[in-house]
Amino acid sequence: MILLMGDLLWFDYGRNPQCDPGFYYPGISVLDAVAQSVPGRVISVKCLPASLAMTRGLNDIRGYDSIDPARMTDLLEMAANPGRELRYAAIQQLVPKAYAVAPDIIKLPPVLDMLNVRYAIFRGEPPPTIRSVFRGNDYWVLVNTNALPRVFVPKSVVTTTGDGGELQALASPQFNPADVGYVESPVELPASCRGTAEITNEIPTRVMVSARMETPGLIVLADNWDKGWRAYWNGKPVPVLRTDYAVRGVVVPAGNGTLEFIYRPASLILGLWLAGLAVIVLACWLIAIWIQTIKTHYPGHESVIGSGGDVDLSQPRPP
């Protein structure tokens, strides 16, 4: 088996039977322009699969998974245009409520402002009254200037009771995510919180945030909440609160610091423990087989096993 694997690796080394990736992901100048502009999530309206934006380093709020997180789906359904029933892969079919407030600016529901949706991408010819910021390849883009950064500090924090009032507040056109954040666990914070935060580094399982807090406050990361996420403020563990119904929030004290999010689900830890146990069981089994082999082929010499030093098993033990 080892020789077969080595032969296959040697044969395939340096070979790439795939076509040029450009054939799979043709150049779209609009996406390239958005990728080079102010950072922010995008939403493609009745066009472009959500995963295509990833080829340009962009994040489409519709996601790219076949499974839609229930709470995130609830949030996005509140932003959906009325009259469109969302069924399987609901987020992929999302058409948001929106209207132009200027020739090049679009207004989206406040929930999408909170979720950092800055760009709306459309296909076809724009209406005569619209002056798109980016245009090309039969696509055009409007900018949502109300979109918050992906990480921010709301001015105040309200604790909800979990009776449905939180969703109603988030669905209101008067909801301003920069002014208020909603959490499901009691917190002690001043009536007016002040601070700034920005993402400094990230990979899919780790996000680093640099913060400057004038007062204690809540740092909100507009990414989906999951119990597998852990947070550390200046290296010390802190709770990750479910904020604004579906995203992550962490209460931090006044001062400068680094907030680190790490994805470390319990299932991974359990899997590592089970894998370690399996290795131990396998090692014990191999040792047992080895001892049994010694007993079978060299009777009378089992007592020398593990005695240390060099032992000549070919000679019988003196009486």
The last residue of one of the domains, among 143, 175, 202, is 143
- Residue 271 included in any domain: no
Does residue 136 share a domain with residue 45?
A: yes
The whole-number pLDDT of residue 35 equals 93
Residue ranges of the chain whose pLDDT lies below 70: 1, 15-22, 65-66, 83-89, 162-163, 268, 298-319
- Residue 314 included in any domain: no
Query: What is the number of domains present in the chain?
Result: 2
- Residue 269 included in any domain: no
The whole-number pLDDT of residue 293 equals 83
Does residue 128 share a domain with residue 167?
A: no
- Residue 11 included in any domain: no
- Residue 50 included in any domain: yes
Does residue 122 share a domain with residue 173?
A: no
Does residue 200 share a domain with residue 102?
A: no
- Residue 180 included in any domain: yes
Does residue 117 share a domain with residue 30?
A: yes
Write out the two tokens for 78.
């509140």
Does residue 76 share a domain with residue 164?
A: no
Q: State the pTM of this model.
A: 0.78
Does residue 156 share a domain with residue 134?
A: no
Does residue 127 share a domain with residue 186?
A: no
Q: Which residue range(s) make up the domain with 177?
A: 151-264
**Is the Cβ–Cβ distance between 148 and 114 less than 8 Å?**
yes
- Residue 156 included in any domain: yes
Residues 191 and 231: their CA atoms lie apart, in Å, by: 24
The whole-number pLDDT of residue 85 equals 60
- Residue 10 included in any domain: no
Residues 50 and 64: their CA atoms lie apart, in Å, by: 6
Does residue 134 share a domain with residue 159?
A: no
CATH number at residue 246: 2.60.220
The last residue of one of the domains, among 87, 122, 143, is 143
Q: What is the pLDDT of residues 150-205, one digit of tens each?
A: 999 999 999 987 667 788 899 998 999 999 999 988 999 999 999 999 999 999 89
The last residue of one of the domains, among 264, 286, 306, is 264
